[in-house]
Structure 1
Amino acid sequence: MIKLGEARRLGVPAPEARLRFEAEQRETGGGPGRRLLVVDGEPAFELSFWCGTCPFLFRRLETARQTLSLESVQERFTGALAVPDDGGVIDAFGALLPEGEYLPVLLRVEPRLVVPGQEGDYFSGEQVATWGLDQFWGLPEYPHTPYYRTFETTVDASAHLYEFVVPMVPPTWNARERVEEYVELMGRGTVPTAVAVSTLDVCEPASGLPADHYRHWGLTHFLLDGHHKLEAAATAGRPVQLLSLLALGEGLAVSEDCARLPALRTQLRSARATAA
Structure 2
Amino acid sequence: MEPPHDLPYGRSVMIKTGDPRTLGVPPSEARLHFDTELQELGGGPRRRLLMVDDEPAFELSFYCGTCPLLFRRLETAREKLSLESMQERLSGTLDDPDDGRVIDAFSALLPEGEYLPLLLSVEPQMVIPGKAGDYFSDEQVTAWGVNQFWGLPEHPHTPYYRTFETAVDADAHLYEFVVPMVPPTWNERERVEEYVARMEQGTVSTAVAVSTLDVCQPAVSFGDDPSVHWGLTHFLLDGHHKLEAAATADRPVRLLSLLALGEGLAGADDCARLPALRAQPRSARATGT
TM range, normalised to the smaller chain?
Answer: over 0.9
Q: 2:182 aligns with which of 146, 156, 169?
A: 169
Deviation at 1:210, TM superposition (A): 2.5
Q: Does 1:110 align with 2:123?
A: yes
Q: Is the 8 A contact 2:146 2:222 kept in 1?
A: no
After the TM superposition, which residues 148-187 of structure 1 pair with which residues of structure 2 at under 5 Å, given as runs?
A: 148-187=161-200
1:86 to 71, 85, 99: 99
Partner Cα distance (2:221, 2:102) in 1: 47
In structure 1, the residue matched to 2:287 is: 274
What is the deviation of 1:85?
Answer: 1.3
- 1:119 and 2:140 are equivalent in the alignment: no
Q: Which of these residues, 242, 249, 260, is aligned with residue 262 of structure 2?
A: 249
Task: Tell me which moved more, 21-30 or 64-73.
Answer: 21-30
Q: Distance in 2 between matches of 1:213 and 1:161?
A: 14
Task: Show the 5 A alignment for 1:211-222.
Answer: 211-222=224-235
Task: Find 1:32's aligned residue among 19, 42, 45.
Answer: 45
Q: Does 1:261 align with 2:255?
A: no
Secondary structure at the aligned position of 2:103 is classed as helix
**Is 1:196 the counterpart of 2:213 in the alignment?**
no
Structure 2 gap segments, 5+ residues each: 1-12
Q: Tell me which moved more, 219-228 or 76-85.
A: 76-85
1:213 shift after superposition: 1.2
Which of 16, 19, 33 in structure 1 is aligned with 2:29? 16
Q: Which amino acid aligns with 1:129?
A: T
Asked whether the 8 Å contact 2:82–2:237 carries over to 1, the reply is: yes
Q: In structure 2, what is the Cα distance between the partners aligned to 1:81 and 1:120? A: 29
Closer, same or farther: CA 157–187 of 1 in aligned 2, 3 Å: same
Q: Distance in 1 between matches of 2:259 and 2:87?
A: 21
The equivalent residue for 1:69 is 82
Distance 2:150 2:43 in 1: 23
Q: What is the rounded CA distance, in whole Å, between the counterparts of 2:86 and 2:142 in structure 1? A: 42
Separation (CA, whole Å) in 1 of partners of 2:164 and 2:144:
21
| C-alpha distance in structure 1 between counterparts of 2:27 and 2:46, whole Å | 18
Report the CA distance between 1:29 and its aligned residue. 1.4
Aligned position for 1:100: 113
Aligned to 1:234: 247
User: 1:28 Cα shift?
Assistant: 4.5
Aligned-partner SS, 2:231: strand
Deviation at 1:30, TM superposition (A): 4.7
Cα shift at 1:209: 3.2
Matched, 1:133 2:117: no
Letter aligned with residue 113 of structure 1: M
Corresponding position of 2:4:
none
* Residues 52-85 of structure 1: per-residue CA shift (max 9 Å, x gap): 0000000000000000000001100011112101
1:256 to partner: Cα distance: 0.4
Deviation sequence 1:168-211 (CA, Å, 0-9, x none): 00000000000000000000101000000000000000135323
Shift of 1:26: 2.4
When the two chains are superposed, the root-mean-square deviation of aligned CA atoms in Å is 0.9
Deviation at 1:32, TM superposition (A): 1.2
Contact in 1 for aligned 2:68/2:140 (Cα 8 Å): yes
- Structure 1 consecutive aligned stretches of length 4 or more whose deviation exceeds 2 Å: 25-28, 207-211
Q: State the SS of the aligned residue for 2:76.
A: coil
Q: Secondary structure at the match of 1:15?
A: coil
Q: Residue 3 of structure 2 aligns with which residue?
A: none
What's the TM-score, normalizing by structure 2? 0.94
Query: CA 1:5–1:213 in 2, change beyond 3 Å: closer, same or farther?
Result: same
Which TM-score applies when normalising by structure 1?
0.98
Identity of aligned residues (%): 75
Letter in 2 for 1:156: D
